[in-house]
Amino acid sequence: MSAEPPALRASDAERERTVELLRAHAVEGRLTLEEFAQRIDTAYSSRTRDELDSVTADLPVDQAVPIQGRGRSAKRLTGVLFGGTERKGRWRVPARSLLIVGFGDANIDLRHAQIEGDVVTITAFIAFGNADFFVPEAVDVDVGGLAVFGHRGEHGEDVLPLPHAPLIRIRVFSMFGTSDVWRIPRGTTGSYRELVKSARQARRLGAG
């Protein structure tokens, strides 16, 4: 009985092609930000072609294939006044969106969101309120803006963004308001309080 031939090793060029394919599917809405981050990590750690092929096995070869659920509308405006609001689950983030918070709280969970382009920008205006943004660890996030009598914070392990990751720009302009970006370790689940705790723990472990 003849032995099976050894698995063919994957080349750097093949890994890069797979990552570009994943990136295209993420932009098309087939992968959430968290799924994209996990699969890129797997692609770069794959040593054989079989391992690399498994990363895209459930994705169509032809990117023109219609996407189930693609018709759901992008959430271009989120607002709250004297209350609380949240965006979570598999929701669509347009290239540009607006968040307005007045005397309230907003939780914007981007871990399972679908994006509409290589770069998405969320602009937030906060007055006497708070906004928390939850993003997958190792996704490229650029935070900026202006805080007057308030603060902006970034939390979680300070890791390099994955190559080819989409860019999430968060611009916060606040007066007597606060905003925090929480980088959530992959695979973490639970309430927002538990997500915050995991990000803080990851930061402490990274610092240690």
Number of structural domains found in the chain: 1
How many CA atoms does the CB half-sphere of 86 hold within 13 Å?
9
Please check whether residue 162 lies inside any domain of the structure: yes
Joined together, the tokens standing for residue 180 give 């925090």
Residue 3: what pLDDT?
60
Q: Does 141 fall in a domain? A: yes
The Cα angle at residue 135 between residues 34 and 131, in degrees rounded to 5: 150
Q: How high is the mean pLDDT of the chain?
A: 87
Give the pLDDT score at 24: 85
Considering the domain boundaries, does residue 3 fall inside one? Answer: no
Task: Tell me the residue range of the domain where 191 lies.
Answer: 77-207
* Residue-level pLDDT, tens digit, the chain, 208 residues: 456 677 889 999 999 999 889 888 887 888 888 898 889 889 989 999 999 999 999 998 765 444 454 446 889 999 999 999 999 999 999 999 999 999 999 999 999 998 887 789 999 999 999 999 999 887 889 999 999 999 999 998 877 777 777 889 999 999 999 999 999 987 888 999 999 998 888 777 655 5
Residue 177 belongs to some domain of the structure? yes
DSSP string of 60-74, one letter each residue: -SSTTSPPTTTTSPP
Within a domain: 85: yes
pLDDT given at position 61? 76
Domain assignment present for residue 174? The answer is: yes
